Structure formats: C-alpha cells, structure tokens
Amino acid sequence: MNNFLPPLRFLTVSEVAALMRVSTMTVYRMVHAAEIPAIRFGRSFRIPESVVLHMVQQSLPDENYPQVG
C-alpha cells in the first residue's frame, strides 16, 4: 500500500488550550465557530497540530515593527 499522505499529528482541545494559554471553553467556541478546523472522533474533537502552529506563527508580531511596552 502506497502512503502518499504526510504524517499528521492531532491535538486534543486541552492540549490546544494549554499551548494557546486559553481555557478549553475558548477552544470549543473557536471550533464551533469554525475558527479552528477540527475532526470529531466519537464525542471528542481533534485539531491538527499544523493548524495550531500556523495560527500561533500568524499571531506573532512582525520582526520589522518595534515592540511597544
């Protein structure tokens, strides 16, 4: 069997909340609002790690702008 899919790693809602330093309810709200894509496995959600890492990178300040504060 040929495997053409890249390896995927999925995170739980709790793991995403810990990485983003928000509550699990915030992550659930983001999932239900389609702000974060998620896959439902039974009664729980799994979020692709690559999506979370991309979101974090996008939220980091641009190096060309000075930091205030």
Residues 17-32 pLDDT 10s: 999 999 999 999 999 9
64 domain-assigned: no
66 domain-assigned: no
Residue with tokens 């995927």: 8
69 domain-assigned: no
3 domain-assigned: no
Q: Does position 38 have pLDDT exceeding 60, yes or no?
A: yes
49 domain-assigned: yes
1 domain-assigned: no
pTM score > 0.85 for this model? no
Task: Decide which of 62 and 56 is more confident.
Answer: 56
Q: Supply the pLDDT for residue 29.
A: 98
Residue 13 CA: distances (Å) to CA of 21, 50, 54, 56:
12, 14, 16, 15
Q: Which domain holds residue 30?
A: 10-59
39 domain-assigned: yes
The total of structural domains in the chain comes to 1
4 domain-assigned: no
Q: Supply the pLDDT for residue 65.
A: 61
